[in-house]
């Protein structure tokens, strides 16, 4: 991961140290967030999402991660505003399969025509002066809405796959539910989510486990509620995908 890597800061609940803020977006399923990088910023954890990010006069795209991504190299105090898309939603906005963005942070100009990105960059810079993050967020949303309107219409299959896998439903059953073979489901998943259905299941289960653990729920109960075989299975999966034990991930600071 190069200089643009890690520009998506930790996505945690609103009110955690570091001033992270988020709200539901008018782009259905998406979340608008803002944050200022702190000196001890932690790695970004996999969540199955892609983000459109504005920071320091640049537009960047954060792809779906398969492991923790360091924010090293980003100066403390750097502000970010981002629009985080639901799993499977990003490709329609960015115009490329999610697998091409997996574990990457790339300039939007690498994906869209340079003139279009230059115009949007100028508008975002102007929006930030009177309206701050609110003005930038609105423009990011407007841009995404227009791209989704222009893109190929989704028959709802992608969202259905994500929802069923998030519930822990077996891959074979999910494939049957959306009238696909397992091989077809795998190809759809790579293009829509950036990785296969089994990996997406693991990532979405991790997201659910972290949300439950942040609420103060005991780890054994988290394991049962999130769909792990037991607490040991939870611990192995958290270490594998997030790179650190649950206690470290949830520690203040």
Q: How far is CA 58 from CA 53, 77, 82, 93, 108, in A?
A: 8, 16, 12, 17, 8
* pLDDT tens per residue, range 193-207: 999 999 999 999 999
> Burial code of 178-215, b = ≥16 C-beta within 10 A, e = fewer?
bebeeeebbebbbbbbbbbbebbbbbbbbbbbbebbee
Chain-centroid distance, C-alpha 15: 19
pLDDT reported for residue 19? 63
* pLDDT tens per residue, range 26-73: 999 999 999 888 777 778 899 999 999 999 899 999 999 999 998 767
* pLDDT tens per residue, range 113-148: 999 999 999 999 998 776 578 899 999 999 999 999
Q: How far is CA 113 from CA 50, 84, 110, 116, 178, in A?
A: 19, 21, 8, 5, 34
Write a three-state SS string for 163-181.
HHHHCCCCHHHHHHHCCCC
Q: How far is CA 120 from CA 21, 37, 80, 89, 126, in A?
A: 23, 24, 16, 20, 10
Please report how many Cα atoms fall inside a 13 Å half-sphere around the Cα of residue 182, on the Cβ side: 5
* pLDDT tens per residue, range 177-197: 999 999 999 999 999 999 999
Please report how many Cα atoms fall inside a 13 Å half-sphere around the Cα of residue 73, on the Cβ side: 10
What SS3 state is found at 115?
Answer: helix
Band the pLDDT of 4: cuts 50, 70, 90: very low
Pairing label, strands 21-24, 50-55 = unpaired
């Amino acid at each position: 991961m190069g200089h643009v890597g890690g520009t998506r800061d930790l996505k945690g609940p609103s009110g955690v140290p570091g001033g992270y803020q988020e709200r539901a977006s008018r782009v259905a399923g998406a979340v608008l967030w803002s944050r200022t990088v702190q000196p001890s910023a932690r790695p970004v954890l996999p969540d199955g999402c892609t983000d459109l990010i504005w920071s320091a006069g640049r537009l960047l795209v954060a792809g779906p991660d398969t492991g923790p991504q360091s924010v090293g190299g980003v100066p403390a105090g750097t502000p970010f505003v981002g629009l985080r898309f639901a799993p499977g939603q990003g490709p329609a906005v960015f115009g490329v399969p999610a697998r091409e963005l997996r574990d990457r942070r790339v300039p939007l100009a690498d994906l869209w025509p340079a003139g279009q990105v230059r115009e949007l960059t100028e508008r975002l810079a102007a929006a930030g002066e009177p309206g701050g993050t609110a003005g930038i967020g609105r423009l990011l949303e407007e841009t995404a809405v227009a791209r989704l309107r222009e893109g190929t219409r989704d028959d709802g299959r992608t969202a259905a796959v994500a929802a069923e896998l998030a519930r822990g439903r077996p891959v074979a059953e999910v494939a049957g539910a959306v009238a696909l073979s397992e091989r077809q489901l795998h190809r759809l998943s790579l293009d829509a989510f950036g990785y296969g259905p089994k990996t997406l299941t693991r990532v979405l289960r991790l997201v659910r486990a972290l949300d439950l653990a942040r609420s103060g729920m005991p780890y054994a109960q988290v394991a049962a509620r999130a769909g792990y075989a037991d607490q040991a299975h939870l611990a192995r999966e958290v270490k594998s995908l997030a790179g650190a034990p649950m206690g470290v991930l949830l520690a203040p600071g």
